Structure 1
Amino acid sequence: MATPTSAGQIDGQEVHRITLTGAQGLRAEILTYGARLAALWVPDRTGALADIVLGYDALSDWRDRGGYLGATCGRYSNRVAGGRLVLDGRTVQLDQNEGAQHLHGGRAGLDSKCWQIEDFSDQHAILTTRSPDGEMGYPGTLTARVTYRIEGVGLRITMEAQTDAPTPVNLVNHAYFNLAGHGSGDVLRQELQVEANFYLPVDDRLIPTGEVLTVGDTAFDFRSLRPIGARLPGPAGFDHNLCLSAPTGADGLRPCLRARDPVSGRQMRLSTTEPGLQLYTGAHFDGSPGKGGARYPRFAGFAAETQRFPNSPNMPHFPSARLDPCETYRHVMLFDLTPDC
């Protein structure tokens, strides 16, 4: 059995790396800092492996350089307008860490914690953490658990949480993917298909307006496989929630995305329990170095964050993100990484 290895320390706390292995050479590396997916080695149609997840070598870069690369984000991921919401008649003010908005749980969200190892093997790792009452403005003490599990040529991520007082919860995995390999340039020629008939338009703060519009005849129509860069909605690319339309199966999962690199044949099929998918095409990357000194240019990777909708606590017609005591929040992402032959 593989043993967790030390990856160094952050703020005096030990960080560990856990390596999981699967079929056809599939390998995932997990960091306990932020419960991160730090690397994911995936075969192409010839069996050649490449790490398709963007990241860094130095722990300080994971902490300091932003972008939430690979992290488990929350307590409420994506944005809350003004950082404010009303819960049982009481106004709750959350940390404002993106201008006046609340983003990905605030300046000290779950992505910035050193999670504890609860259990591990060659095929799985279970990490846990605790967010005390009042942290980043959230009511209630939250306990969170993330399980990474290799299943053949696939990866299952399960995010769970419980609370002792009503609180909003929306945990996401914020990995950036480049199916040609993390240091291979931009992803604009890679192809996506998303099972979504509607999307959420946003204002200049990237907050949903409240409208739910059809993807037909827009840049957001990925209902058939097409290159990511074929119809960008603007110079900043995509940073929008697509409303998933496929029904859930008996296991509670719905197919939501297929991504494919036509050159290598690497592909990713994603299913989820969640109603939305935030497609972000990494406009903030600026050519600075990542793992192994690889340069990450603009659009170096895409994030496919399955989620509750952004600003749901302030939009009654959006799917609820409320978690009450005696309930368990559970969010599953299942990646099938079998190459396209």
Structure 2
Amino acid sequence: MDRIRSFGSLADGRVVRAHCIGEEDGLHAEILDLGGILARLRVPGAGGPVDAVLGLPHAQAYYDDPAFLGILVGRYGNRIGGARFSLDGQAHVLAANEGRNHLHGGMLGFGRRIWRVVEHRADALALHYRSPAGEEGYPGNLDVTARYRVDGDALRLVFEASVDAATPFNPTHHPYFNLAGDRGVPAGRQLLQVPATGVLPVAPDLIPLGHVQPVAGTSFDFREAAPLQARMDADDPQIAIAGGYDHCLVLEAGRTHVAALYSPHSGVAMRIDCDAPAVQLYGGQALPRQHPGLGDGLCLEPQDYPDAPNQPAFPSAILRPGTPYRREISYRFACPGRDRDWAEVAAVLGLT
């Protein structure tokens, strides 16, 4: 297994490399220095290895990708309304890359930048990027390091950052998961469990309205595991606005368990842990148009609240000088087997 290989070149001639961590007969990942992209994540399944995330064939395809497949997201994951905010009495105008709004860091964000490899071992990869003041409209010079590590049956991602002037900062990760490992199996057949008590309702442009709505009795209640496609009510006004799921779920306070996912087709299950207060659930409904034939997947993005710089009632997502930033996202995999009931899956994932 090659630990480093070429992943093609960008149109401007820059060479992109893929870095492998983990072992071929177990959990292993390929990560690009372009955007810190998780291009492949292979896990053991009931019938052999399973490709757990959707991927593209070469570097330029990722650079041109409108769906943000696998990227490290920043400076700010999700949306900032009107592509502007005020901070400490100063107005800031950001790059508007989704209509009038700012999405996932702007025109290039973190996901179309070449990151510097600072460490690469058999089980770990560390990448660094310096985001200069003014990039995409953000204040302050930001230094961010992303550390990937394969730890037994888990892939761990740690963000560490510091800044020399106050700035919004809400990094997250954007892989599309389909644990079936078969592009012919809809991602909506996976069973999803999220310990979220609330959801942030959105306006037609997907900017939060500013309050938390209880999930009880809605399409957003995944406290008990259910297939994504079975839980979705097409008559729900919020589902109609987004054409499916593209909503931030507010997690139970004090819990680090973010979500669990299980494919009855492959027998593979995944548990996500993070200390973020929320997780964006995106059902991938735009993928058939953006990447015909790729198959589909869903995103589970641990994060702070979207549009928090403009929403005084939301928890702050401002990073200030002298305050070190650290956030870890852990993806732990298991294989309880095909067509198991949720109680067995939950036991294997340590949810009970």
- AA matched with 1:34: G
- Residue equivalent to 1:243: 250
> Does residue 1:15 correspond to 2:16, yes or no?
yes
- Which whole-Å deviations, capped at 9, do the CAs of 1:205-247 have from their partners, x for residues lacking one? 0000011011000000000110000122535210000001052
- Residue equivalent to 1:111: 111
- The Cα of 1:108 is off from its aligned counterpart by 2.0
Task: Give distance in 2, aligned partners of 1:220 and 1:318.
Answer: 20
- Which whole-Å deviations, capped at 9, do the CAs of 1:98-124 have from their partners, x for residues lacking one? 010000110021111011100011100
3-state DSSP class of the match of 1:66? Answer: coil
Q: Gapped runs of 5+ residues in structure 2?
A: 338-352
Give the alignment partner of residue 279 of structure 1, picking from 278, 281, 295.
281
- The Cα of 1:288 is off from its aligned counterpart by 6.5
- AA matched with 2:161: A
Note closer, same or farther for the CA distance 1:5–1:12 as it changes in structure 2 (3 Å cut).
same
Runs of 4+ in 1 over 3 A off after TM superposition: 287-290
TM-score, normalised relative to structure 1: 0.92
- Residue equivalent to 2:294: 296
- Residue equivalent to 1:331: 327
Task: Give distance in 2, aligned partners of 1:182 and 1:118.
Answer: 34
- The Cα of 1:12 is off from its aligned counterpart by 2.7
Q: Gapped runs of 5+ residues in structure 1?
A: 249-253
- Which whole-Å deviations, capped at 9, do the CAs of 1:128-150 have from their partners, x for residues lacking one? 11111101110011111111100
Task: Give distance in 1, aligned partners of 2:182 and 2:203.
Answer: 31
- The Cα of 1:2 is off from its aligned counterpart by 5.7
Contact 1:41 1:52 in 2 (8 A): yes
Contact 1:42 1:49 in 2 (8 A): yes
Contact 2:50 2:266 in 1 (8 A): no
TM-score, normalised relative to structure 2: 0.90
- Residue equivalent to 2:45: 44
- AA matched with 1:332: E
- Residue equivalent to 2:350: none
Note closer, same or farther for the CA distance 1:184–1:27 as it changes in structure 2 (3 Å cut).
farther
- The Cα of 1:287 is off from its aligned counterpart by 6.2
Task: Give distance in 2, aligned partners of 1:3 and 1:54.
Answer: 20
Contact 2:73 2:111 in 1 (8 A): yes
- The Cα of 1:184 is off from its aligned counterpart by 3.1
How many residue pairs get matched?
Answer: 329
Note closer, same or farther for the CA distance 1:286–1:315 as it changes in structure 2 (3 Å cut).
same
Note closer, same or farther for the CA distance 1:60–1:23 as it changes in structure 2 (3 Å cut).
closer
Task: Give distance in 1, aligned partners of 2:214 and 2:264.
Answer: 28
- Residue equivalent to 1:30: 31
- Residue equivalent to 2:265: 263
